[in-house]
Amino acid sequence: MKERLRPLVDLLLSRDPQIRSRLVFSWIAIYGYSAGSIVLLLAAHMGLVHARSIFWLLGFIWTGVLTFYLLVRTGWSSRLGYPGMDFPQCIFALIAMMAGYVVAGPIREGVMPLVTLLLIFGVFTLEPRQVLLIGALTVICLGAVVGGMVLFMPGEYDGRAALLKFTLCALILPAISAVAYYVARIRLRVKQQKIELRQALSMLQEVAIRDDMTGLVNRRHMLQLLDQQRERQARTGEGFCVALIDLDHFKQINDQHGHHVGDEVLKDFSLAAVSVLRQTDVLARWGGEEFLLMMPTPGETGFEQVLQALDRVRQMLMAMPTLPDRPVSFSAGVTCHPPGESLRETLERADRALYQAKAAGRARSVVLTIEDNLTQASPDSHSA
């Protein structure tokens, strides 16, 4: 039964969570308008009010209700600057209530509780200043309507009783507006605190996963990403390769030029690498002057992609003259992760490949596959 009703529910409320939340109050308003419409129709049927006036009023009300609903349901309300159409709907409801007060005849006193309901409704939907504005407009509109009825409907409307009723409402509504304003301010403050808390949590999360100096992901987060990629490989068959990268002679750079220059070299390498890598590639600071690159690739055939990416990084790094006497170079050990292998074995193989690259003279990339001899580089060794 639930599955059969789901298409209808999605049609009425949308699948978008934000639109659904905005439509909740629209449906509450529709319920209120429906109850008022039933009462007015019964009053017209009993001859208590003029049927023609009631039909015109209901036509006006339901044209507005459906218009607001469609604007919110289709998302056009966001383009107009009022995502939930809350304030325009309150203004419309105020106009409808004042019109209902005029035509409702002997049952018009039942309209007054609805005015209070309008302010309560505004507590949950309006900004504090809008709540005050609705309260002021309510008093002004009610005074204008009562005054107009005393002047133009003297035989039907008792001016003295109307004055007393209006005075009572004019004294009570500001108090209700003040309470509604106070509650709306609390709601707004809580909402702002939630936004600030969400931003603070986001910043903390960013700090937890990023290296302070380079802005790259740190070792701990990279291990999590590698584990996620390994699980994705098991599900979809999408392979990945890793490259363990070490900046050549980095200790000499620190000793000869100072640690501040060494820090700039780390930052320049990070900028050079990120600028030429794909969005799907992930580069992490692995520790000290070591970096780890993870590239989703089509299995063992992805070695060439990794080597080409490393060549692009080298070319970009040479164009960044951090050191005046010589360009910065790096060595890299490249391997791919075969299905079923542990990450520890893959990273150890990449480390052996890096060791071979450094032993062969640095400034080069060495590839090791799972079939290669653990002490020899494969024929795919690549020099800068």
Among 259, 203, 128, CA closest to 195? 203
Residue 354 token pair = 């890096």
**DSSP-derived secondary structure letter, 379:** T
Do 201 and 72 lie in a common domain?
Answer: yes
What is the spatial distance between Cα 341 and Cα 232, in angstroms, rounded to a whole number?
14
Do 275 and 360 lie in a common domain?
Answer: yes
Domain count for the chain? 2
Mind listing the pLDDT tens digit for each residue in 325-334?
Answer: 677 899 999 9
Do 198 and 283 lie in a common domain?
Answer: no
The H or E element containing residue 283 is strand 282-287
Q: Is 319 helix (H, G, I), strand (E, B) or coil?
A: coil
In the chain, what percentage of residues exceed pLDDT 70?
A: 91
Residue 225 has pLDDT above 90, yes or no: yes
Domain of 128, in residue numbers: 2-205
Residue 4 has pLDDT above 90, yes or no: no
CB 272 within 8 A of CB 313: yes
What is the spatial distance between Cα 298 and Cα 313, in angstroms, rounded to a whole number?
21
Residue 372 has pLDDT above 80, yes or no: no
Do 194 and 231 lie in a common domain?
Answer: no
How much is the average pLDDT of 180-208?
86
Do 196 and 235 lie in a common domain?
Answer: no
By the 10 Å C-beta count (0-12 exposed, 13-18 middle, 19+ buried), 60 is classed as middle
The average confidence (pLDDT) of the chain is 85
- How many other C-beta atoms lie within 10 A of the C-beta of residue 115? 23
What is the spatial distance between Cα 368 and Cα 351, in angstroms, rounded to a whole number?
10
The H or E element containing residue 253 is helix 250-257
By the 10 Å C-beta count (0-12 exposed, 13-18 middle, 19+ buried), 137 is classed as middle
Residue 365 token pair = 């990339």
What is the spatial distance between Cα 134 and Cα 278, in angstroms, rounded to a whole number?
54
What is the spatial distance between Cα 247 and Cα 210, in angstroms, rounded to a whole number?
20
Pairing state between β 290-297 and 239-247: antiparallel
Question: Pick from 205, 230, 248: which residue ends a domain?
Answer: 205
Residue 18 token pair = 């934000």
Mind listing the pLDDT tens digit for each residue in 153-192?
Answer: 776 667 677 788 788 888 888 888 888 888 888 888 898 8
Q: Among 80-89, 173-182, 285-294, name the most confident range.
A: 285-294
Lowest mean pLDDT among 54-63, 158-167, 290-299: 158-167
**DSSP-derived secondary structure letter, 212:** T
Question: Pick from 173, 205, 237: which residue ends a domain?
Answer: 205
Do 178 and 224 lie in a common domain?
Answer: no
Amino acid at 133: L
Q: Which residue has the higher pLDDT, 10 or 313?
A: 313
The residue whose two tokens read 């060794």 is 381
Question: Looking at residue 248, which CATH number applies to its domain?
Answer: 3.30.70.270
Among 87, 89, 113, CA closest to 101? 113
Length of the chain: 384
Pairing state between β 282-287 and 290-297: antiparallel
